[in-house]
Amino acid sequence: MVASTLPIGILVSGRGSNMEAIAAAIEAGEVPARIQAVISDRPEARALELARERGLKAFCLAPGEYPSRQAYDLALATALKKEGVELVALAGFMRLLGREFLEQFPGAVINIHPALLPAFPGLNAQRQALEYGVKVSGCTVHFVDAGMDTGPIIAQAVVPVRNDDTPETLAARILAEEHRLYPRVIKWLAEGRVELRGRRVIVRS
Ligand code: GRF
């Protein structure tokens, strides 16, 4: 019997290392999902090239070609629906998604952020953490709501902050954890083990 797999879409804007980690985990048979499409808001995103090299369907939808943010969000949701996507994973996607988008995928949009939310949301999270002086940081996978990195937290991984860290060395240590955590969360979701109770997310074993 062929077990069912969850059809996912990945939204990217840049480097694409999390997209690669997810794709590699799926290819290794560790995550019962399949990537239906990788979509970027930037045509030059390296993630698009990397996805195509893996034989994935990858294309750009450029916001500048739409009259409003709402129109873009709707076009993006429509494109994902057309590909049969049931879970949307943001992986370095540098835009906020509005209600027009989120209403199309209720409880089915997730993001990874390179800090222990609710600390250090937004841009340059690793630099924010270092400058604040925290002793541990890490990454967070969360459901996406209309705010900036404010949705219910699904999972977090912690790394130490070292005395000689720069934003770059801390980011690299966090990124290694991102690449482990994001595929694992997608696995849980694909297995139907994740339940939202208010703001709390319960992962059944
Ligand atoms: C990651 O640090 C992720 O946490 C943040 O953006 C970065 C994307 O990196 N949201 P990549 O494109 O996956 O390499």
> What is the domain partition of the chain in residue ranges?
6-193
For the chain, the residue count is 205
Exposed/middle/buried for 125, CB within 10 Å: 0-12, 13-18, 19+?
buried
Confidence of residue 190 (pLDDT cuts 50, 70, 90): very high
pLDDT at 42: 98
Q: Whose CA is nearest to atom 6 of ligand 1?
A: 92
Write out pLDDT tens, residues 82-136.
999 999 999 999 999 999 999 999 999 999 999 999 999 999 999 999 999 999 9
Report yes or no on whether pTM surpasses 0.95. Answer: yes
- How many A from CA of 17 to the centre of ligand 1? 7
Nearest CA to ligand 1 atom 14: 17
Set 113, 142, 179, 187: catalytic member: 113
Q: Would you say 189 is a known binding-site residue?
A: no
> Tokens 């912690």 — which residue?
158
State mean pLDDT over 54-83: 98
| β partners of residue 40 | 12, 60
* 6-193 to CATH, choices 3.30.1060.10, 3.40.50.300, 1.20.210.10, 3.40.50.170: 3.40.50.170
Q: How far is the CA of 33 from the centre of ligand 1 (A)?
A: 20
User: Which amino acid belongs to residue 1?
Assistant: M
Testing ligand 1's pocket by substitution, the residue of 15, 49, 88 carrying the most ligand atoms inside 8 A of its CB is 15
Quick one: pLDDT band at residue 1, thresholds 50, 70, 90? very low
Nearest CA to ligand 1 atom 10: 92
Assess whether 113 carries a catalytic annotation: yes
- Is 200 within any annotated ligand binding site? no
* Percent of the chain residues topping a pLDDT of 90: 98
**Average of per-residue pLDDT across 175-194:** 98
Question: What does the pLDDT look like over 36-48, one tens digit per residue?
Answer: 999 999 999 999 9
Q: What is the band of 3 on the pLDDT scale with cuts at 50, 70, 90? A: low
Q: Is the pLDDT of residue 166 over 50?
A: yes
What is the average pLDDT score of the chain?
Answer: 97
Give the separation between CA 32 and CA 199, rounded to whole angstroms.
Answer: 26
* Ligand 1: centre distance to CA 18 (Å): 6
pLDDT band at residue 70 under the 50/70/90 scheme? very high
- Residue 201 Cα to ligand 1 midpoint, Å, equals 22
Query: How many CA atoms are closer than 13 Å to the CA of 84, on its beta-carbon side?
Result: 8
Q: DSSP string of 61-127?
A: --GGGSSSHHHHHHHHHHHHHHTT-SEEEESS--S---HHHHTTSTT-EEEEESS-TTSS-SS-HHH
